[in-house]
């Protein structure tokens, strides 16, 4: 006669232990997954801001390379451009067209706070031709232009002043800011020196620029 063997299941204690181990495993797994997702979102936010800031900086550099700093020779004495400026005027090779690059503040439209403003870098080639370079997601918190030499080296009054006899160039600094997905801001800064490709600038007598 064969006796039936008793079939035993998990006891309550064993079940609770198994559930506890499973819960700890799932907690670690979810925490790791959340961290990976958060890191990917932060990396994507940084990539978007960096790409936008890089594009803006490349556009500004192109403007400086194709133009020359306006030292204020149209109807006034050469200006003394010392220290950082938040804007700069450039003139074209033919001396006719002018370009202004500046940081200005405009109302932030994508927020309930209508008084909130964001900084933008604007390239203006006239009242009807103003271009904002950075995207609505990116705020320009700082923009500085340092001009060297401070006096126009091609002005006849400065040709014998050795301190000013080198090709004009500018040092440009800018800081860009963007909010992360969790609302916290983070920034990236750029800095570069750009030399004009125009030599022995000829000023058009009909050009009416702005004295700095």
- The DSSP code sequence of 115-159 is T-EEEEEEEESSTT-EEE-S-TT-EEEEEEEEEESSS-TTSTTTT
Instruction: Compute the 3-state secondary structure of the chain and give helix, strand, coil in percent, each to the nearest 5.
Output: 25, 30, 45
pLDDT tens sequence across 47-64: 888 888 888 889 888 888
Whether 211 has a pLDDT exceeding 70, the answer reads no
How crowded is residue 26: how many other Cβ atoms within 10 Å of its Cβ?
10
Could you tell me the residue ranges of all domains in the chain?
A: 38-195
Paired tokens of 48: 């978007």
> What are the beta bridge partners of residue 147?
170
Of residues 74 and 163, which shows the higher confidence score?
Answer: 163
The reported pLDDT for the residue numbered 3 is: 54
Tokens 């400086």: give the residue: 64
pLDDT digits (tens, 9 = 90+) for 78-107: 456 778 888 888 888 777 778 889 999 988
Give CA–CA dist 75/150, Å, rounded: 18
pTM above 0.85, yes or no: no
């Amino acid at each position: 006669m064969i006796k039936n063997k008793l079939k035993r299941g998990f006891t309550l204690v064993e079940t609770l232990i198994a559930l506890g181990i499973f819960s700890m495993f799932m907690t670690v797994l979810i925490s790791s997954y959340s961290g990976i997702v958060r890191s990917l979102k932060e990396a994507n936010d940084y990539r978007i801001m960096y790409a936008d800031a890089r594009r803006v900086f490349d556009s500004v550099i192109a403007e400086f390379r194709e133009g020359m700093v306006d030292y204020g020779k149209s109807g006034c004495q050469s200006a003394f451009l010392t220290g950082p400026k938040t804007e700069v005027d450039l003139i074209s090779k033919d001396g006719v067209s002018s370009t202004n690059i500046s940081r200005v503040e405009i109302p932030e439209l994508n927020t309930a706070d209508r008084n909130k403003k964001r900084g933008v870098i604007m390239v203006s080639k006239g009242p009807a031709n103003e271009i904002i370079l950075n995207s609505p997601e990116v705020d320009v918190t700082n923009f500085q232009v340092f001009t060297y030499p401070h006096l126009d080296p091609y002005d006849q009054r400065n040709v014998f002043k050795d301190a000013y006899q080198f090709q004009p160039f500018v040092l440009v600094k800018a800081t860009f800011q963007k909010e992360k997905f969790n609302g916290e801001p983070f920034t990236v800064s750029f800095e570069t020196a750009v030399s004009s490709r125009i030599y022995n600038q000829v000023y058009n007598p009909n050009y009416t620029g702005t004295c700095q």
